[in-house]
Amino acid sequence: MKLKQKFNLPLDEYINLSLYDKKNGYYMKKNPFGKKGDFITAPNVSRLFSEMIAIWVLSFWKALGSPKKFCLVELGAGNGEMMKILIETFKKFPNFISSSEIFIYEKSPVLIKIQKKKLKGNKIKWLLNFDDLKKKPTLFIANEFFDSIAIKQFIKIQKSWFERFVNLNDKKHAFFFDKKLNMKKYEKKINFKISKKQNFIEYSEIGINYLRKISKIIKKNKGGILIIDYGYFEEKMKNTLQAISKHEYSNVLKNIGNSDITHNINFYLFRKIIEKIGNLREMTTTQRNFLINIGIKHRAEIITKNQTFLKKADIYYRLKRLIDVNEMGNHFKVMFIKNKNNNFKLGFKD
């Protein structure tokens, strides 16, 4: 892995190197999804998840007045499983299909190849730049997208702020160290007082830039973004940096390029960013409440009719994984960002 003689990297640069280095980056060289991979996402737990998202997308489109021109963009489509089920569902609604352009925004050449194979025969375009989107109502779907983006960490010691770095002089014995930072200067650069009421900061500069860019598109084109990710609502930031390999936690500083490095989303910070942008409205809930409010339990009852006991048991076992408070149900949060004058709220009722 080329380090260009730069052995001391800010945490986000180290994570970017580990995940997205063109030759050795984790996401650039392998398919991490499924039992044979390192983790399983909701679309791979049960097709019920993707069916509910499809129903929600169709409802949002109808709430916009069923526009004749509409864009749907999945951010980071993984192994293509969710998009496959979305399209299968959309085909039952020809008016929606004929009105829509469907896009996938994906950085990994390996995953693009897998997605194209799985989605062969469907009219899908792969995006590398949001500027390629046409000026029409656009809905973004981000399921476990923001957690895969590199983060920075800052620590307050007494009255001084320090940024977390990684020393890679010896890759086998990499270590963290902290470097003094002028927080006021940094906040001026990012145009946000991120240190307010904090003693520890964990956030993604790149992720926030995505959020801002997408929010501008939403404001201009009357669209929205649905974010589903593991995270928390509290104002106080936490250290949630972690690495996953073969479905187990691993050391962030070891096995570089062979482990997924991730974090929990601070949805409170997202909310503050959206407020600062202005003229947008956000709604939040848990994955459990979101899926139940759309009707996932009712859908499970329908598809289990006339099924064998074993098939029914499997469907309900998978449903439990999605909505149980001790599994994905509460750990995963859902945020919906839309135009201020848009009253659509399916899935977000109390």
Q: Calculate what percentage of the chain has a pLDDT beyond 90.
A: 82
Name the pLDDT band for 60 (thresholds 50, 70, 90): very high
pLDDT at 99 over 60: yes
Q: Establish how many alpha carbons lie within 13 A of residue 98's alpha carbon, considering only the half-sphere containing its beta carbon.
A: 5
- pTM here is 0.94
Q: State which amino acid sits at residue 343.
A: N
- C-alpha Rg value of the chain to the nearest Å: 21
pLDDT of residue 1: 45
pLDDT of residue 84: 97
Domains of the chain as residue ranges with CATH: 21-151+204-339 (3.40.50.12710)
Rounded to an integer, what is the distance from CA 140 to the centroid of its chain? 11
Q: What angle do CA 270, 276, 281 make, to 5 degrees?
A: 65
Q: What angle do CA 190, 237, 166 make, to 5 degrees?
A: 70
User: Which residue intervals of 30-163 are DSSP H helices?
Assistant: 42-45, 47-63, 81-90, 94-99, 109-118
DSSP one-letter code for 259 = S
Structure tokens at 73: 């963009």
* 319 in Cβ contact with 300 (< 8 Å): yes
86 CB-contact burial (10 Å; exposed 0-12 / middle 13-18 / buried 19+): buried
Name, in order, each residue with C-beta under 8 angstroms of 212's C-beta and a sequence gap of 6 or more.
273, 277
Write out pLDDT tens, residues 139-156. 999 999 999 999 999 999
First to last CA, the chain: 49
Q: State which amino acid sits at residue 145.
A: F
Write out pLDDT tens, residues 237-265. 999 999 988 768 889 998 888 889 999 99
pLDDT at 349 over 80: no
* 15 in Cβ contact with 261 (< 8 Å): yes
Q: Find residue 336's DSSP bridge partners.
A: 226, 283
Structure tokens at 2: 């080329």
Give the residue-averaged pLDDT of 265-276: 96
Name the pLDDT band for 3 (thresholds 50, 70, 90): very low
Higher pLDDT, 217 or 349: 217
